[in-house]
């Protein structure tokens, strides 16, 4: 077994590994967003977060502007509190913007949709979105439907 062939082979292995790692990083795991660092934190309380999880996307008009970083229970208000991080360059969300938990597709992931308001002042790091709408819960929907049916 020639030494040269082996060296070439091993070099190829290393190169393939490095390329594969790069592909994994960029194409498969979308490294860009997470690593842009910074971003500012915004909080919102929801009665029911439904199937929302951490790292769910935060979007405005369908365009992703951030992600959910943490979900906690607020002991004072006894509801769920969501912490999200918005990209630094999206700094034009007014303080009366509303946050709604939406679903992508029938069994798709839930995400937060932000609808901007009309105020002049914008959201800053640490601000809270007041106007929130919880996730749709199937049982409530059925209940509402039945109730409407009954009153007809």
**Coil/strand/helix, residue 24:** helix
| # residues contacting other proteins (CB under 8 A) | 30
- Contact range with other proteins by CB under 8 A, out of 42-50, 103-111, 119-127, 143-151: 103-111
- Contact range with other proteins by CB under 8 A, out of 79-87, 94-102, 106-114, 135-143: 106-114
Nearer to other proteins, 10 or 146 (CB): 10
What DSSP letter does each residue of 116-144 carry, written as one string?
Answer: --S-SSB--TTEEE-EEEPPP-HHHHHHH
Provide, rounded to whole angstroms, the least separation between the CB of residue 107 and other proteins: 4
The residues in 19-48 that bind other proteins, with binding defined as CB under 8 A, are 20-21, 23-25, 27-31, 34-35
115, 60 contact by CB (below 8 A): yes
Looking at 16, 137, 141, 142, which residue binds other proteins (CB under 8 A)? Answer: 16
Provide, rounded to whole angstroms, the least separation between the CB of residue 16 and other proteins: 6
| Binding status of residue 85 toward other proteins by CB under 8 A | no
Distance of alpha carbon 94 from alpha carbon 13, whole angstroms: 53
Distance of alpha carbon 25 from alpha carbon 103, whole angstroms: 27
Distance of alpha carbon 47 from alpha carbon 97, whole angstroms: 17
Q: What is the DSSP letter of 136?
A: P
Nearer to other proteins, 107 or 121 (CB): 107
Q: What is the CA radius of gyration of the chain?
A: 23
């Amino acid at each position: 077994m020639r030494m040269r062939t082996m060296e070439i082979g091993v070099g190829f292995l290393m190169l393939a590994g490095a390329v594969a790692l790069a592909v994994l990083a960029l194409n498969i795991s979308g490294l860009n967003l997470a690593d842009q660092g910074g971003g500012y934190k915004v909080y919102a309380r929801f009665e029911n977060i439904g199937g929302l999880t951490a790292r769910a996307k935060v979007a405005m008009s369908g365009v992703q502007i951030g992600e959910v970083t943490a979900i906690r229970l607020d002991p004072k208000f006894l509801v769920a509190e969501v912490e999200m991080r918005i990209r630094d360059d999206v700094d034009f969300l007014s303080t009366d913007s509303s946050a709604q938990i939406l679903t992508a597709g029938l069994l798709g992931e839930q995400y937060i949709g932000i609808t901007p308001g009309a105020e002049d002042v914008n959201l800053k790091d640490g601000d809270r979105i007041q106007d929130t709408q919880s996730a749709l819960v199937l049982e409530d929907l059925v209940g509402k439907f039945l109730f409407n049916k009954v009153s007809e």
